[in-house]
Each structure stands twice: as structure tokens, then as C-alpha cells.
Amino acid sequence: MSFDAIAYSLAKKALSRAIQAELLPTLKDLVVDSDKDWQGHVIKNLGEPVDPYDASRKKYVDVAVTGLGIDYYLLDATDSGVPSYKSMTLTPPTLSEAYVEVASSTPGDVEVASWIAPTDGVNVALLGVYTLHAQAEKVGGNIDVRMYFEVYERESGGTENLIVTSYLSDLINGRRDVVVSAILDSNYSLASGSRLVFKVYVRFLSSGSSTTVRFYYQGDVRSRVATPTQKEVLDTLYATKVHALQHELGGADELSLDASQIATGVLSVDRIPSLTRSKITDFFNSPFWDNIPDKPSVFPSAASVFSVDNHIKPPSGATYDLGDHIKDFRIGWFQAVRVGRTGVTTFPPQQGGYIGWNYPSGTGATVFFNNHGGGNTEYIFYSTTDWSSFKELLRITDSYAQFSVDILPNSDNARNIGSSSKRFANLYAVNVYTGDLCFEEKVCDVCGRSFEEGDEIVLKVKKVDDYTRTVPIHVKCSQAYKELDERLRKLEEVM
């Protein structure tokens, strides 16, 4: 039987009218009285569950299962350790809203931005669901777009290793919530010093007019990535920080009070059963310092390494010592009136500031004198082996440098004194030992022709003042040669 298009169209219209008139049964009248095998097919576009036995959408389940994990909130500030990434925080930020825009007119994936997790000691990315909660908006263009994210391990050396990729979000049109998840099937162990990185992408699904997508974070949005975690991590890392932040005071799980918060009463030691010196940050004044039982006799102790991030200044003038036997003193810039050493009284001269230091072998020393003679235009370097007698090595003034030792290059025929553009005016020497005798003139001063290999030359006196100044010329261009050549020519004519 051939297909009758007119009959098919009339039957379809009749069926539609019958459904609208409720003459035929619909799904609302359907009673399910047996199990149904869906054979791998998907039930799509479910509504939000309301009653306890309602079916749940995947999005709803993803949000629920990450509810006990750690939320990493996205910030606009760059990470202090790796400035190429934006930073993240474990506590909800109270910052103004920010956004990042990307645009494209061709299909493909475009990275929005990358965020790096804090250095919180997490060494395993646990199996489970990783969910991005954010807001995005398509603000121009006609290309359909979706979003997704990826989780990476960033090693201490900078290498990035992909851990898991999320599925695609719903289509982004006007400003809307974006909830998209990735499922990690098994635990992923991070290398020592590694940190988690979260990269957000926009997928442009086709070509078209340039389409711009904004990704929002901070402000009321507080975009974040929820990650699964173990109870031990919550107890030791997250709960303690959030507790003190939310209550603005300490608790049994963490000492977060400072002296200014104790107005009256007594702070019970039961609340600080394991107080260690590492938790004491601003208690170095009476009465707290005096009541610490295991403190050193001085702060810091004699065996400590002392670091500062500001200037160290005596109260007045140069009336205090920094020490006589400091093993290592490492600085970027040093300025002093006088830096001395115990028992040294015969530095020549006794004026000016000076610095003394030992060679790495522990024997010998070099002494640098500044403001020699009380002025500020002369510096002298000495060497000494016993700190009682000194040999002058180099004297530098504002007009000359004077050496008391030989000047040697570090290897033969490898170093210059001056250059073609920066020449010394005069060179004074008693004896000059050279290899090849070199002139900077490349043409004959008489004929103007260039010198060539094999030419014979003589020196022509160019000028006589305080010195006799000469230049090279061809032998044939010299006056003596010309006179000899003239005599030979006349002799040939006579013969």
C-alpha cells in the first residue's frame, strides 16, 4: 500500500483534537503496576524533587553529595606564590563582585581563568564529585555556549597534570546560575609541594557573530568549587578556621584570642591544653613573657637564626655593637661609621670606616677602608694574614686607580685594555714587549691606497710636539725611495 499523505495529516489532526478533549488516556491517568526496564535510556528534564520519594535530577544529587566537602572560593587577587593564577580561599569572601570576559566567533574552547588552591597541606584529591557553583552570562553575540571546568595538579616545578574534567553546563544565555560537576573515580595522590588548580572554560558550539561571555565571582555570587574531603581534614583544617572567623573569638578547638579581647576575667587554661610556643605571636611583653616556663634566657636564643623584615637601628648615634664573633653576616647593602673586630688596633690609617672579612678557608683576610684620611674620595684595599701587618693592594681615588700588585689577565691572549671606541690617551712604559706591531691606520698617508698583506712599510713623522708622532706609509711612497728611484732612472738614461 502506498503512503497517503492527506489521510495521514487528517488522522494526526483528529488525534490532537481527541487528546485536547481528553477523549484519549494521557500520562496523568497512567498507573504503573510493574517494574520497567528502561534499557539504558535516559529520563530527561525532571523537575526539582519535593517529597521524600520523588526522583532526583543529577544536578540535585551533585550538590547534595558535596555538601560536606570543602568549598574553595574564587578570588580576583593573584596568588602570592604563583602570580599567573588567581587565588582561592577557604572562607567566604566579603569582597565586591568581579568578573572575567572572554569572546569568540568560531567554535572551540576558550579558557576563562585559572585559580590555584591554598597551600593547605592537602596531598590527596579524594574520589567523589567536584562541583563548580558560579554565575555566568552571555552579553552579546548569537553563538550557543556552555561552560565546564578542569582540575589539575600543579607540581612545585610548574608542571600541570590533568586530574579530571567536568561535564558541560546547560546553555548560557542571560545571567544565570551555573552548577557543573566532575566525578573523580579514584583517589589521586599529589606530589610533595603540589597544589590543586581549577581552570574554567567556555565552549563556543558554532561559528557566528562575536559572542561574549562573562563569568562572575566574589560579591553575593561567591563562586566556589566544592570538593570532597575526609572528616580528619574538616576537623584539622577547615572547621577551626571557620569557627574563629564566624564567632570572632576563639573556642575549644583553636586559640584565636589576643590580649585586647580579654577585657575582664580569667582565661581558663582548660581552653588551651596544648599551647606551644608556635602559637605565641604577640605575648613577648610582661606579664605573658615572664610566665612562659620553657622560654629561652634571651629572645631569640643564642642558637637561633634571627631574621628581620625592617630596619635595625640603635636608639641614638654609633654607641652600640652588633657583636664580635658573628659567623655569617649576609646583607644586600651595608652602611656603617666603623665596623671593628676585637683586638684590631693597628689598621693603617686610624681614620674612616672599614670592613674586615675572612676568606672561606678560614685563613687570611681582606680589609676595605672607606673615607680614607677623613675624606670621601679615596678607597684602599689591603690584605693581611695575621691582622697586625697589612699590604696595600689597590688605591682608588676620584682621579686615578693605583695598583700595588701586578695586573694579569686570567688567560693568555684573551683580554684587552681599552677598545676601538674607548681608547686610552697615552700609555707610559719603560719597556714594551709585544708580538705583532699593530697600527690602526689601514691606508697609506701618502698615496691613500689600502695596505695589503706583503706590503713593505716605513714610519713617516706626522707631527712633533711633546712626542714624535708617526704613521705607517708604503716604502715606495717614502721620499728616500723616490730619490733613489729618480737616480736609477737617470743612470739608465746615461747608460
CA dist 422 and 35 (Å) reads 98
Per-residue pLDDT reduced to its tens digit, 387-421: 566 777 788 877 888 888 888 888 888 888 888 78
Residue type, 147: M
Does the pLDDT value for residue 229 go beyond 60? yes
Does the pLDDT value for residue 365 go beyond 70? no
DSSP class of residue 434 equals -
Per-residue pLDDT reduced to its tens digit, 105-159: 999 999 999 999 988 767 888 888 899 999 999 998 999 999 999 999 999 999 9
Looking at the DSSP assignment, which residues form a beta bridge with residue 384? 365
pTM comes to 0.41
248's grid cell? 570572632
Mind listing the domains of the chain with CATH numbers?
62-235 (2.60.120.260), 318-406 (no CATH), 425-495 (no CATH)
10 Å CB burial of residue 135 (0-12, 13-18, 19+) is: buried
CA dist 457 and 192 (Å) reads 74
Per-residue pLDDT reduced to its tens digit, 59-77: 666 655 554 678 899 999 9
CA dist 392 and 381 (Å) reads 6
Distance in angstroms between the alpha carbons of the first and the last residue of the chain: 137
Percent pLDDT > 70 in the chain is 62
pLDDT of residue 283: 52
Per-residue pLDDT reduced to its tens digit, 294-319: 666 655 554 555 566 666 666 665 55
> For 175-179, 260-264, 412-416, 422-426, which range has the lowest pLDDT when averaged over its residues?
260-264
Exposure class string for 322-352: b at 16+ Cβ within 10 A, else e: eeeeeeeeeeeeeeeeebbeeeeeebeeeeb
Residue 243 binned pLDDT confidence (cut-offs 50, 70, 90)? very low
How long a stretch of residues is the chain?
495
Does the pLDDT value for residue 203 go beyond 80? yes
Nearest to 339 by CA among 322, 326, 358, 361: 322
Per-residue pLDDT reduced to its tens digit, 7-20: 777 777 777 776 66
pLDDT of residue 95: 92
Region 338-356: mean pLDDT is 45
pLDDT of residue 206: 94
Residue 354 binned pLDDT confidence (cut-offs 50, 70, 90)? low
CA dist 128 and 239 (Å) reads 20
Average pLDDT, the chain: 74
pLDDT of residue 319: 58
CA dist 126 and 64 (Å) reads 17
pLDDT of residue 459: 84
Region 478-485: mean pLDDT is 70
CA dist 395 and 406 (Å) reads 14
The gap from C-alpha 95 to its chain's centroid, in whole angstroms, comes to 24
For 398-482, where are the E strands, in sequence order?
401-403, 457-464, 468-474
Does the pLDDT value for residue 271 go beyond 90? no
